[in-house]
């Protein structure tokens, strides 16, 4: 796909490809390309119209709310912040004590902690030896 975009955007490359085609095939490609571009333009115009309608509706709602003295808080919402979805906390899967006597836990996600790697290598253990039961 990337190679096709480079060919289409480079006049010399495009000329080389067109010269290898018959004139009928080249004209057929041109017509198809023009149709696709027109479809894309129409789609972009439709999206722009939908956005404009949405902005007009929001503007009208804000004006009506202002005339009635209604705020976003009255509607039960917060005007400044949006709620963000927080990930669920994953329980620890592995537990070990490092050389200094500190107990560590790891969920098994992401890179393995260096202190756990050291425990595995230094004491000839496997990861399963540190599973929380």
Q: What is the pTM (predicted TM-score) of this model?
A: 0.47
What's 79's DSSP letter? S
Q: What residues have CB less than 8 Å from 112, skipping those under 6 apart?
A: 106, 127
pLDDT surpasses 80 at 81: no
- Can you tell me the mean pLDDT for 23-37? 96
Residue spans per domain, the chain:
1-68, 94-130
Stretch 102-125: mean pLDDT: 92
CATH number of this structure's domain 1-68, picked from the four choices 2.60.40, 3.40.50, 3.10.590, 1.10.287: 1.10.287
Indicate if the pLDDT at residue 79 is higher than 60. no
Higher pLDDT, 1 or 81: 1
Strand partners for 106: 94
Closest to 96 measured CA to CA, from 65, 129, 124, 66: 129
Please state the rounded mean pLDDT for residues 36-58: 97
106 Cβ partners below 8 Å, 6+ apart?
92, 93, 94, 95, 112, 113, 116
């Amino acid at each position: 796909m990337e190679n096709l975009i480079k060919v289409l955007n480079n006049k010399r490359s495009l000329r080389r490809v067109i010269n290898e085609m018959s004139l009928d095939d080249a004209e057929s490609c041109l017509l198809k390309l023009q149709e696709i571009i027109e479809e894309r333009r129409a789609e972009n115009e439709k999206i722009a119209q939908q956005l404009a309608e949405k902005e007009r509706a929001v503007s009208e709602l804000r004006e009506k709310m202002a005339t009635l003295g209604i705020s976003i808080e009255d509607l039960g919402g917060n005007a400044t912040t949006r709620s963000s979805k927080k990930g669920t906390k994953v329980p620890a899967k592995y537990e070990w004590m490092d050389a200094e006597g500190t107990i560590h836990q790891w969920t098994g996600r992401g890179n393995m902690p260096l202190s756990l790697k050291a425990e595995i290598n230094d004491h000839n253990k496997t990861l399963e030896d540190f599973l929380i039961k």
